């Protein structure tokens, strides 16, 4: 099986990772720990070796108890810990209005790493992300703490989620960054501006929301009724009548390519991304084994350079509406 590498860390992972967030957070009511752990372990059996979680991926169960994503991931991978790569994140809490509260102070990082290690039931974390940039903490200060955690053996590498070039360069100069994790899909291509910098610094691009929060699968539309307050997709701009109308030419092209390649729209969306750069690693998520299997099989589909260019040129010409992330509280 093809492997991809997390930058200069040398850590090898499967060509696609599993985004585990939706098991407990933002995609409806959370699964039980046992159900979620079973999904995670099934993904490993399919070939996934890279699993993404975060300390803030929590949900509330019907009985009022809290579902911790890291706990479920840790249970699913405990017996195969040395065979997988686990990424988690620090520095974000969700406010009731879904905005983000950021805190990357050294004290918070130290507290967060201990909490994540305990919930994941592991002695080390392979890739530890700063979940969002904290405007009150300099990148050099965050990177210095990461350097210490690597020296202590608590993490193997580190990364930054939703990084920009200046912050990335300054942090990387103190402690090499293995990967960034930014939003990226056919509908959200603004982070391609970082490609030149990533190649220069040998940093991997882990792509979250690679199918625009499920929109590019073709399985959902503006008429879809999502599962209440715990499903963050409700109200996203691509899931409005106008958003869908603007995306129709892209959806039609994806469907055409899917038919030509005997694939699904989801697989074409992922194959496009995998074909862009060898250091891009998409992390689609699902609760359903059939979707996880379908996503992983996209690594076997090769779009031609002409097909990738056709998609790029079309999306450049469209005024697409797509969710770009939750606001950060001042």
State the pLDDT at residue 221.
Answer: 62
In a domain, 324, yes or no: no
- Expressed as residue numbers, the domain containing 273 is 4-317
The verdict on whether 124 is a catalytic residue reads no
Q: Is the pLDDT of residue 286 over 70?
A: yes
Say how many domains are in the chain. 1
In a domain, 329, yes or no: no
**Cα separation, 269 vs 134, whole angstroms:** 32
In a domain, 330, yes or no: no
Q: How confident is the model at residue 255 (pLDDT cuts 50, 70, 90)?
A: very high
DSSP, res 27: B
State the pLDDT at residue 26.
Answer: 67
Q: Is the pLDDT of residue 219 over 70?
A: no
In a domain, 37, yes or no: yes
In a domain, 10, yes or no: yes
State the pLDDT at residue 171.
Answer: 98
List all residues 6 or more positions away from 61 whose beta carbon is below 8 Å from its beta carbon.
29, 30, 32, 67
Q: Which member of 44, 48, 57, 232 is catalytic? A: 57
CATH number at residue 106: 3.20.20.100
Single pTM value for the model: 0.93
Find the Cα–Cα–Cα–Cα dihedral 253, 255, 260, 264, rounded to 10°: 140
Please answer whether residues 154 and 125 qualify as being in contact, where contact means their C-beta atoms are separated by less than 8 angstroms. Answer: yes
Please answer whether residues 285 and 18 qualify as being in contact, where contact means their C-beta atoms are separated by less than 8 angstroms. Answer: yes
**Cα separation, 204 vs 277, whole angstroms:** 10
Q: What is the mean pLDDT of the chain?
A: 92
């Amino acid at each position: 099986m093809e492997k991809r590498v997390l930058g200069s860390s040398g850590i090898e992972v499967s060509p696609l990772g599993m985004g585990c967030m939706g098991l407990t957070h933002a995609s409806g009511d959370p699964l039980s720990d046992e159900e979620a752990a079973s999904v995670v372990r099934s993904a490993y059996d399919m070939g996934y070796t890279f699993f993404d979680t975060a300390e803030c991926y929590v949900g509330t169960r019907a009985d009022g108890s809290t579902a911790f994503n890291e706990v479920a991931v840790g249970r699913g991978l405990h017996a195969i810990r040395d065979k997988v790569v686990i990424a988690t994140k620090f520095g974000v809490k969700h406010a009731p209005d879904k905005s983000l509260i950021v805190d990357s102070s050294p004290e918070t990082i130290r507290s967060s790493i201990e909490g994540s290690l305990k919930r994941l039931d592991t002695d080390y974390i392979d890739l530890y992300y700063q979940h969002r940039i904290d405007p009150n903490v300099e990148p050099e200060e965050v990177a210095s703490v990461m350097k210490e955690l690597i020296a202590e053996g608590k993490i193997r590498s580190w990364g930054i989620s939703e990084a920009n070039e200046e912050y990335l360069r300054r942090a990387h100069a103190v402690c090499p960054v293995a990967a960034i994790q930014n939003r990226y899909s056919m509908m959200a291509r603004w982070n391609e501006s970082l490609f030149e910098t990533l190649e220069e610094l040998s940093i991997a691009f882990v792509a979250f929301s690679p199918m625009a929060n499920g929109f590019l699968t073709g399985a959902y539309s503006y008429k879809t009724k999502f599962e209440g307050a715990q499903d963050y997709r409700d109200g996203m701009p691509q899931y409005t009548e106008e958003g869908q109308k603007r995306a129709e030419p892209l959806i039609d092209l994806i469907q055409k390519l899917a038919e030509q390649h005997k694939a699904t729209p989801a697989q074409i969306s992922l194959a496009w991304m995998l074909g862009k750069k060898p250091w891009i690693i998409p992390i689609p998520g699902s609760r359903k084994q059939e979707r996880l299997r379908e996503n992983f099989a996209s690594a076997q589909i090769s779009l031609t350079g002409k097909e990738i260019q056709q998609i790029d040129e079309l999306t450049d010409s469209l005024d697409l509406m797509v969710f770009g992330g939750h606001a950060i509280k001042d």
